[in-house]
Amino acid sequence: MAVILLTNVDALWLAFLGYLLYHVGRKLGRRAAHKGLQARSKPPGPPGPPFVGNTYQIPRDRQWLKFDEWIKHYGACSRSIYSDRPQAVMAGELVGWDLGLGYAPGPHSPRFREFRRLFQQFMGPRAAQEPTLLAAQEKHATKLLYRLLIAPGNFMTHVRQSTGASILYLTYGYEVSDDVNEDPLVNIAEEAMQGFAHASDPGAYLVDTVPWLKYVPDWFPGATFKKDVKVMRRSRERLYDVPYDFVRRDMAKGAVPSSFVSSYIDEKGEPTLMEEELIKAAAASLYSGGADTTPSSLASFILVVTLYPEIQERAQAELDSLIGGSWQRLPSFADRPRLPYVEAIVLEVLRWNPSVPLGLAHRLSQDDVYNGYHFAKGTIFWANIWTMLHDEKVFPEPSKFMPDRFLDGNGRLRSLSRLEDPAVLGFGFGRRICPGMYFAHNSVFIAIARMLYVFNFSKTRDHVGNEITPEIEYGGFISHPRPFPCSISPRSKAMADLILHTLRIE
């Protein structure tokens, strides 16, 4: 009797081959079943090779420009049934970000609804205007001014770290140490965010297009993504656990300020394990949603005022006329209704280069026919926010930075529809719209208003005295300006003193 002995390697290869043949058969069967309908009504393109689809047609950077090209050629679609999330294999399933809001199944799942309830309660339109929340945002904007004052050359780092510090305080009641670079919680959070952005990048990992690759063993040729998973998952778990444990310890001592996490724990009394897992994920979602997007907007602002000094001068004139030349205080949220041009700058920053040009992927929750094309349930769509905010019919000369597009003939803010308002479109739409949009808009406004009031931004000069004009270049899933030179200096010694004075009293 012949006996066939299979090694572990042989068994894995046979399992892999069987799995592949099974799914190929299923796919071919579905194609045959729907051949008549799809032959008549499937979208005209862009065509892609079998199994991997359009994966290799998506560029590794500035994907929104390729998508914009396809939209112009093939058309667009928008319906409420496009609000589900696809199974994000790398970022969601393998790294574990599907525990949070961004990749949570929904929008009808109980978990999704509980996330939305929590965020609405803590940072909805009414909650975002709470005096204590606004005061905390003003305080962290002043800390940003201080960092720019003492080390202006590191402005890209400062806007990122200051935003992260603000979110850590509001989410966990955690005060970041003066030496931000050495703060353990900041380092944990930034490491997790780097992994989140890379794992979410369209086309970065083939496993998102060919999900069965997740079953291949670590040693399988080409399975280097498995090493990335281990690193990213560990950093995500630390972001979930370490700051939460900090809140629990300080609450036991009675020494923690009110925060998103402490408020939830107070509401629940003693949370169950399931409730603990939920609040950990919700808190991390707050951080992941804002820690890299708001810095993108602030870096865009610095780039703009460096390139266009006339915009800076006009905004400073508006601020000076309101606050006066005594330099007794910084701009505050109370001044906002009387700063229409500054507000218009904020809106144009959000429009000109949105921080998340493609948002996160959406999945069709049921079969649909749109503009005569048939889309099957489960089809994945990317909402090209960049294209919407550069629609020439809505925003004439969209590539130009023009705050006046949001003002009427009397210099007042125009009433904007949802399709005209970057403070809405820039944060998504439908049931998946960013729940932190009001908080983020406030953060960008107060930082920009205060930076404009105390600093001058200008081009740097080379060794012979010639001005260096920064290039307008962006990249990344969360779109940031490429590093650029900029000179930042206080408008006067009185302004520098005002920063130090405000830092002491806030």
Tell me the binding residues for heme. 434
Q: Are 400 and 382 in contact (CB under 8 A)?
A: no
Phi, psi of 474 (to 5 degrees): -125, 160
Q: Are 175 and 506 in contact (CB under 8 A)?
A: no
CA angle 424, 430, 432 (to 5 degrees): 90
- CB neighbour burial string for 134-165, b if at least 16 within 10 angstroms, e if fewer: bebbbbbbbbbbbbbbeebeebbebbbbbbbb
| Residues annotated in a binding site | 434
Q: Are 455 and 148 in contact (CB under 8 A)?
A: yes
Considering only CA atoms, which of 271, 261, 275 is closest in space to residue 170?
261
Q: Are 231 and 213 in contact (CB under 8 A)?
A: no
Q: Are 402 and 121 in contact (CB under 8 A)?
A: no
Considering only CA atoms, which of 243, 207, 227 is closest in space to residue 92?
207
For 47-68, give the DSSP string: ---TTTTTGGGS-SS-HHHHHH
- CB neighbour burial string for 232-267, b if at least 16 within 10 angstroms, e if fewer: bbebbbbbbeebbebbeebbeeeebeebbbbebbee
**Residue 151 per-residue DSSP state:** -
Local structure of 369: helix, strand or coil: strand
Angstrom distance (rounded) from CA 88 to CA 293: 20
**What residues have CB less than 8 Å from 228, skipping those under 6 apart?**
195, 198, 199, 205
Q: Are 304 and 457 in contact (CB under 8 A)?
A: no
